[in-house]
Amino acid sequence: MTKITMIDYGASNIRSAQKAFEHIGADVHLTDDPDVVRRADKLVLPGVGAFGSGMAGLRRHNLPEAIQETVQRGVPFLGICVGMQLMFTEGHEMGVHQGLDLLAGKVIRFPEKLSMVNGKRLTVNEPQSPISNLQSLKIPHMGWNELEPAWENPLLAGVQTGDYAYFVHSYYCDPEDATAVLAWTDYGFPFASVVAKDNIYGLQFHPEKSQSVGLTILQNFLEKL
């Protein structure tokens, strides 16, 4: 069995993430010990909640430096939901908070006024459409939405454009390097739903709630990276 070290810093979704990996055959070791993190073969950071409180939880256990050292060693690292957001330089939720800075960029809130026309996002070049065609988008972005892979990577092997994943979030990641975006999702505008750079990977959605698509991605992380 492939061993996964999953960082336990008080995130409320850690048990569901653990069960999803165990369902596909992983041996999951939960830990809040920096020394155990440094010895990891594959490292997963789940997360639900706010950016600032997530970073506070990591700091409480002296985990940021251990995570950074492990990633620099080349260990495959996967951030899930808020865990993906914590990978970035800073988060703008209830103030500005320093992140792990594994990827350059910011985590910012969706605009309050988002709309789509007939299921497609509005652009400035499109003619005005009848009001009846307008669909107001609520924040948080919650429910099923499509993935659009941007380039080939083993993490998304078997995932096609138009496959659905399950999202719950009010903030999105804005990477400085657009080539780090492995898949886009549209919610009034395209945002980064999957990121990848070297041995660093992130999923904005909940793979444990995304049925076969989510399990396929976790299996790819387990077996192909």
Catalytic residue list: 81, 206, 208
Question: What distance in Å separates the CA atoms of residue 84 and residue 202, rounded to the nearest whole number?
Answer: 5
Collapse the DSSP code of 149 into the 3-class scheme (helix H, G, I; strand E, B; otherwise coil) and give the result.
strand
- On whether the CB atoms of residues 171 and 187 are closer than 8 A, the answer is no
Question: What distance in Å separates the CA atoms of residue 77 and residue 169, rounded to the nearest whole number?
Answer: 21
Residue type, 18: Q
Q: What are phi and psi of 133, to 5 degrees?
A: -90, -10
Q: What are phi and psi of 123, to 5 degrees?
A: -125, 160
Residue type, 24: I
CA atoms 159, 28, 41, 174: torsion sign: positive
Collapse the DSSP code of 145 into the 3-class scheme (helix H, G, I; strand E, B; otherwise coil) and give the result.
strand
